[in-house]
Amino acid sequence: MSDKATYDRHMAIKVVMMPRDTNPHGTIFGGVLLSYIDQAGAVGAYHEIRTAGYGPKSIVTVGMKSVEFHRPVFVGNVVSFWTTLVQMGRTSITIHVEVEAERDGQIEKLTEAEVTYVAIESTGKTRRPVPIKDK
């Protein structure tokens, strides 16, 4: 994870977990959380690129690793997806996503993952990596 302090985290998205998102065990399906993690990571990546002073980029997900489901997520939980910059390379950016909910007055870490995105340029059906940093 990044050396950035907790106050440098970015609130990417906040979501109320709904009954349609449950698995057969009555908790939120992991795939739903993975989808939100990917969305939150992209929001965080865009935020970091803007904060660094670079122009808008199209990015695509190229990898998700270190996904850890620490605690179950329940219907009705209001879940916060916080992002932190791990690394910004020439064409890629890696974001750490922490998933939290408030339970009984305490913040509880539910899930976390590291997601990598690549800046691309699309021309027709061709996509190619491009530098994140403006020339």
The predicted-structure confidence for 29-47, as pLDDT tens digits, reads as follows 999 999 999 999 999 999 9
For domain 6-129, the CATH class is: alpha beta
CB 20 within 8 A of CB 35: no
Report the candidate in 93, 94, 97, 76 with the shortest Cα–Cα distance to residue 11.
Answer: 97
pLDDT in tens, 77-130: 999 999 999 999 999 999 999 999 999 889 999 999 999 999 999 888 899 999
